[in-house]
Amino acid sequence: MANLLRGARRLLSGLKPMKVPDAPARSFRDLWPGDATRGARLLRGEFEWQGTARRLEPAGVGWEAAAGPTAWRAAAHGFAWLRDLRALGTDPARTRARDLAEDWLGRGGTEELAQAPEIAAARVSAWLGHWDFLAATAEDGFRRRLLIRLAQDARGVIVSLPAEATHRGALVTLKGAIAAAVALAEEGWMQRAVRFLPAELERQFHADGGHVERSPTQQLLAVQDLIEIRNLLHGADVPPPPQLAMVLERAGQALRLFRHGDGGLAQFNGAREDGAALVDLVLTQGQARGRAPMLLEETGFQRLQAGRTVVIADAGAPPVPRGRDVASGLPRGADRGAHAGTLSFEMSIGRDRLVVNCGAAPAAETDWRDALRATAAHSTLVLGDTNSAELREEGLGRRPERVEADRHESNGAQWLEASHDGWRKPFGVLHRRRLYLNETGDDLRGEDVLEVAEAGQKLPAFLIRFHLHPGVTAQLQIDEHAVLLRLPSNAFWRLRANGAKVTLEESVYLGGGEARRSQQVVLAAESDVKTVQWAIGRVAADTPPAPPDPAKP
């Protein structure tokens, strides 16, 4: 019934005549910095988004369905890349922005994906936020065509409210609706958008401030959305609902939990580092003050911190799925970018990242994207070479249904015990992980336990993986039960294990821009072992490192 009503509203809105102004009624500028390097690539006809680069040129290249994966094409149709051209600040960059927009109006705008509400809303926000760069000094015909299409898109976005998606795309849709209402002076649109805002805030954020997608990057982007919505309402003298300030404050605080010592973000559920400068800017704009929280109980993340050491752990259940939109092909659920990384953790010492997850390539081809979503790409236990959650195009299938966490602190030391049942159906097994960080932060100890449903039950082989940041060098020690780790700061740490053989394997890291080679420490459990204990400890400066195994590389 909801779909029928939405379709009827869309049809009626298309029949209603609409007056399009000669220019936006109110001007506002996009708040966030672009990347001049990506802008230079756009001048060469290449659009890079989230580590995936493909051709995007003002000759109909990049808009069509065959141009690349849906996520990459959605970003191309959303026009946020205007920030990168603007960052160049050159006449060729402005010309390329207009040429691409003109080409999109003639060829790309008819694509089904381009008309999806969240994509149309993102484009409306981008065009209006960069109006002075893109269109203010352009020739009249181009500016008129742009405004007409903007108004058409905006009307479609308005009638799509409330959005069907349960992920951040619904918040983007609402933000685009408010931006259009401000720029086109449509009071009715504003009233409709503001009416749906409180419910959307409640749907998008847990009470602890964490975003429903459980991704540090989506948390950052959602806080940016809230800041933009707040500024748009204030600029238009529209009183924001009281929930907005409260949610923004909580969401900003929650964002702090995901920061490592270098100021960037941890790599969970499709996240990337998102440099410290941007995170600082967002926190400043959001007026988020105070220290990072130690846990997000509802969202399901834990932070252990002592001395200069930070450990961030995923100790929550994945989001609930919703399936896929038939017309656009876009996922509807908050699990759209979820990884099978339950109980994985990351660790940093000061500005040096030590243990990481592999990162993400959400706009890559399916095989490569899902390889990074797999449990094996995370610093956690892998049982029987099987993911702890089933990876699907639109999100997750089988998944951990019960994830529990218990935390204790005493005299600066911290304990975390967490468990998940993601392997209950295929193997009848519960995975329990215990972490202990001492009061100085120099000693992290862990224990991974597999609890079986029946005594004497045989288990498939399992591995425990610790992916290392590319800046860390690792050397296997002579007894094959330890590995020496050297950080970029020249500090030495040692990972040792009991009940498992320690090996070194190749890995890959996509936390920043391009993929980088790295290493991973792999603990292979000995026969019939169901418990493996391990520790990562600082090697004292006056203690010479143990000699490496001469038979190992």
Residuewise pLDDT in 10s, the chain (553 residues): 445 455 544 544 554 667 888 899 988 899 999 999 999 999 999 999 998 999 999 998 999 999 999 999 999 999 999 999 999 999 999 999 999 999 999 999 999 999 999 999 999 999 999 999 999 999 999 999 999 999 999 999 999 999 999 999 999 999 999 999 999 999 999 999 999 999 999 999 999 999 999 999 999 999 999 999 999 999 999 999 999 999 999 999 999 999 999 999 999 999 999 899 999 999 999 998 888 999 999 999 999 999 999 999 999 999 988 888 878 889 999 999 999 999 999 999 999 999 999 999 999 999 999 999 999 999 999 999 999 999 999 999 999 999 999 999 999 999 999 999 999 999 999 999 999 999 999 999 999 999 997 777 888 999 999 999 999 999 999 877 899 999 999 999 999 999 999 999 999 999 987 899 999 999 998 778 899 999 999 998 755 555 555 444 4
Residue 322 lies inside a defined structural domain of this protein: no
Do 181 and 259 belong to one domain?
Answer: no
Residue 337 lies inside a defined structural domain of this protein: no
Cβ contacts of 297 within 8 Å, gap of 6 or more: 208
What's the CATH number where 461 sits?
A: 2.70.98.70
Do 39 and 71 belong to one domain?
Answer: yes
Please tell me the pTM assigned to this model.
Answer: 0.94
Residue 199 lies inside a defined structural domain of this protein: no
Do 254 and 350 belong to one domain?
Answer: no
Q: What range does the domain containing 209 cover? A: 205-293
Do 522 and 386 belong to one domain?
Answer: yes
Q: Give the integer Cα–Cα distance in Å for 174 and 292.
A: 28
> What pLDDT is stored for residue 88 in this prediction?
96
Do 360 and 257 belong to one domain?
Answer: no
The number of folded domains in the chain is 3
Q: Please say whether the beta carbons of 120 and 176 come within 8 A.
A: yes
Residue 156 lies inside a defined structural domain of this protein: yes
Q: Give the integer Cα–Cα distance in Å for 363 and 78.
A: 14
> What pLDDT is stored for residue 553 in this prediction?
41
Residue 504 lies inside a defined structural domain of this protein: yes
Do 180 and 115 belong to one domain?
Answer: yes
Nearest alpha-carbon partner for 110 in 151, 157, 155, 149? 149
Do 112 and 246 belong to one domain?
Answer: no
Measured distance between the N- and C-terminal CA atoms of the chain, rounded to whole angstroms: 64
Q: Please say whether the beta carbons of 303 and 295 come within 8 A.
A: yes
Residue 106 lies inside a defined structural domain of this protein: yes
Residue 486 lies inside a defined structural domain of this protein: yes
Do 404 and 494 belong to one domain?
Answer: yes
Q: Give the integer Cα–Cα distance in Å for 461 and 376.
A: 14
Q: How many CB atoms lie within 10 A of CB 155?
A: 21
At position 426, the amino acid (one-letter code) is: P
Do 72 and 147 belong to one domain?
Answer: yes
The dihedral formed by the CA atoms of 242, 248, 250 and 253, expressed in degrees to the nearest 10: -150
Cβ contacts of 107 within 8 Å, gap of 6 or more: 60, 63
Do 213 and 166 belong to one domain?
Answer: no
Cβ contacts of 533 within 8 Å, gap of 6 or more: 445, 446, 447, 497, 498, 499
Residue 549 lies inside a defined structural domain of this protein: no
**Helix axis angle, 187-204 to 242-257, nearest 10°:** 40
Do 269 and 349 belong to one domain?
Answer: no
Do 363 and 471 belong to one domain?
Answer: yes
- Name the strand (E) or helix (H) holding 521: strand 516-525
The string of DSSP letters for 162-173 reads SPS--STHHHHH
